[in-house]
């Protein structure tokens, strides 16, 4: 699986947009970009995924660059409950949800009041 | 939808005893599920992948005779930590594959004294 690089930590003010970057320069054509987050002492939570088009759901937006070597997860209006470690994961979509996930160190996002 | 439960949420046991952790998908069925563990301040590490009705596939370095996985049905899997030692103290998290994502349980905090 392609490796991802994320900043170790980021801060964001409550109510502002949080933009979390991820570098995946070795991504291959059949690999998707997935984002999960883990609130302290809880299991990870799926956020969003995409292949090459930008995606939006009720939680977040995912912007993938045209060359697919990087992406940005956007939380449009961060709240204190969004404080968590955010993981960017690249994986093939063949096998669907049965394909194992490899978690890196992620980005600790701290939303401040 | 896509809720996964784990039981117990916390367990303390004495060194040398065995502990069983249950993982259930409450509103969906899944043929494939995963067990992870997470040491303090570290990321999730995959321990094993199991398919319903067949033997689990363990990651390198994970002892299959120590971490017994039973995936007896499409909604239930158990992880038994046999002859637990203090170094097995960790946060154990299960996940089920469903659709295009994995859904994670809330985790079980195991402390071996």
- The mean pLDDT value of chain B amounts to 92
Q: State yes or no: pLDDT of A96 exceeds 80.
A: no
Whether the link from the prior residue into B8 is cis, omega within 30° of 0, is: yes
Q: Which residue of B has its CA nearest to A85?
A: B43
Q: Which residues of B touch A87 (CB under 8 A)?
A: 43
**Which of the four pLDDT bands, split at 50, 70 and 90, describes residue B1?**
low
Instruction: Give residue B102's pLDDT.
Output: 87
Q: Does B109 touch chain A (CB under 8 A)?
A: yes
Cβ separation of A96 and B34 shorter than 8 Å? no
Average pLDDT over residues A34-61: 94
Strand order in the sheet with A45-50: A9-13, A107-112, A84-92, A31-38, A45-50
**Residue B20 above 90 pLDDT?**
yes
Quote the pLDDT of residue A33.
94
Question: Are A98 and B46 inside 8 Å of each other by CB?
Answer: no
The 3-state DSSP class for residue A72 equals strand
């Amino acid at each position: 699986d392609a490796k991802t690089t994320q900043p170790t930590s980021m801060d964001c003010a409550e109510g502002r947009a949080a933009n979390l970057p991820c570098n995946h320069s070795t991504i291959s054509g059949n690999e998707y970009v997935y984002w999960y987050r883990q609130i302290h002492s809880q299991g990870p939570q799926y956020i969003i995924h995409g292949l090459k088009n930008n995606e939006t759901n009720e939680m977040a937006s995912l912007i993938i660059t045209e060359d697919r070597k990087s992406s940005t997860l956007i939380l449009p209006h961060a709240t204190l409950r969004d404080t968590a470690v955010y993981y960017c994961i690249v994986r093939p979509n063949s096998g669907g949800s049965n394909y194992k996930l490899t978690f890196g160190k992620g980005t600790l996002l701290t939303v401040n009041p | 939808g896509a809720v996964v439960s784990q039981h117990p949420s916390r367990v303390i046991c004495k060194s040398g005893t065995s502990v069983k952790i249950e993982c259930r998908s409450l509103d969906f069925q899944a043929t494939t599920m995963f067990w992870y563990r997470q040491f303090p301040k570290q990321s999730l590490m995959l321990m094993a992948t199991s398919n319903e009705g067949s033997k689990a596939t363990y990651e390198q370095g994970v002892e299959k005779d120590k971490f017994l996985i039973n995936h007896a049905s499409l909604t239930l899997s158990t992880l038994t930590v046999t002859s637990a030692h203090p170094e097995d103290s960790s946060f154990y998290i299960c996940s089920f594959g469903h659709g295009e994502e994995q859904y994670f349980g809330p985790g079980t905090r195991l402390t071996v004294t």
